[in-house]
Amino acid sequence: MLALRFASKTLRVTSRPSLLRLYASAPNQRFVVPSHNLIKEQTEYRQLPDDSQYIEKFYSELSSFHSEIVKNNKIPYTSFSEFENDPNSLITELENFIQTKVYPEYVNKDDLGSQMVIKRYNDFLRNVKITLILNGGHTFIFDILLQNKKLFDGFDHNKK
C-alpha cells in the first residue's frame, strides 16, 4: 500500500488487477479510476456453454444493479440491452455502483456477512467481464437472464 499526501488530504493507493482505486482519508470521498476498455471491438454474438454459470449464481446482484440502472438519473440507460453499443460503459457503471453504493454500506463493518457481500459483488463484477469477453461484448444477455429467472420463479410459485 502506498500513501500519497496532497495539501490537506492523504490518499491510499491500492492496485488490483482489474481496477486502480484511490481512497481519500475521509470515509465517503472515493475516487474511481476507470479500468481500460476491456471490450475492444464487439464481435458476433457467441452463446455461452450451458454449464458456464458465470452470472446464474449472481441473480440477486444482477437484479440490484438493474434496479440501480433504472432509478439512477445519472445513468442514461434503463436496461442492459441499451449498453449494447458500449459494453465498456456497463462495466464502468457496475464498478461505480460497487464503489459508491456497496462498499460504503459494508466496508466498515467487521462481520463475516458484510465481507461476503463485498466478495460476492467483486466476483459478480469479474464474471460480468468474463461473460462479455466470451459472448462478444453483447449486454442484452443480462436482460434475458433476468426475464428468464422471473418467469421460472413464476412457474415455480404457481406449482406450489
- Do 25 and 103 have their domain in common? no
Is there a single domain that holds both residue 8 and residue 74? no
Tell which phi-psi region holds residue 7, choosing left (phi > 0), alpha (psi between -120 and 50) or beta.
left
- 86 and 131 in a single domain? The answer is yes
Based on the domain organization, do 127 and 153 belong to the same domain? yes
d(CA 141, CA 143): 5
Residue 21 DSSP SS3: strand
Residues 127 and 97 in one domain: yes
Please tell me the predicted confidence (pLDDT) of residue 109: 84
In contact, 129 and 38? CB cutoff 8 Å: yes
User: Domain of 148?
Assistant: 39-159
Q: Are residues 73 and 148 in the same domain?
A: yes
Does 25 share its domain with 50?
no
Q: What is the residue type of 71?
A: K
In this predicted structure, what is the pLDDT of residue 85?
92
The confidence score (pLDDT) of residue 24 equals: 43
Sequential pLDDT tens for the chain (160 residues):
444 444 445 445 554 444 444 444 434 455 555 556 777 777 888 887 777 778 889 999 999 999 999 999 999 999 999 999 999 999 999 999 999 999 999 988 888 999 999 999 999 999 999 999 999 999 999 999 999 888 888 877 777 6
* Cell numbers placing 59: 441473480
Q: Do residues 63 and 99 share a domain? A: yes
Domain count, the chain: 2
Please tell me whether residues 110 and 144 are part of one structural domain: yes
HSE value, Cβ hemisphere, 13 Å, CA-based, for 118: 15
Amino acid at 127: N
Same domain, 86 and 26: no
User: Global pTM?
Assistant: 0.73
The predicted structure's pLDDT at residue 34 = 54
Residues 60 and 88 in one domain: yes
